[in-house]
Amino acid sequence: MARPSTQDSAEFRRGWDAALLAVRGWHEAKASQAMVQSRRTRFPKNLEREAEVHRQCAELIMTLSPDDV
């Protein structure tokens, strides 16, 4: 865990925000990928559920703060 004095720095904040955006983008891409795959398969329900989980993760990831870690 980062020391309290480093969590308040501007550099730490930029890094934190960049990491959250990267993770959110990854989850959104995985959701999109799962939806495309679900259209091409005979059994789409599992992939649709996977896409929904990734969508929810992408939404929730932005609510994290450094204090949560």
pLDDT tens digits, 7-64? 678 999 999 999 999 999 999 999 999 999 999 998 899 999 999 999 999 999 989 9
The Cα–Cα gap between 61 and 25 comes to: 10
How many domains is the chain built from? 1
pLDDT at 5 over 80: no
Higher-scoring residue by pLDDT: 69, 49: 49
- Structural domain for 34, as ranges: 14-64
44 Cβ contact partners less than 8 Å away, ≥ 6 residues apart: 38
Could you tell me which of 66, 68, 69 has the C-alpha nearest to residue 8? Answer: 66
Q: Is residue 1 part of a domain?
A: no
Give the pLDDT score at 30.
Answer: 97
Q: Is residue 8 part of a domain?
A: no
Give the pLDDT score at 4.
Answer: 57
Give the pLDDT score at 66.
Answer: 86
Could you tell me which of 29, 30, 21, 25 has the C-alpha nearest to residue 62? Answer: 21
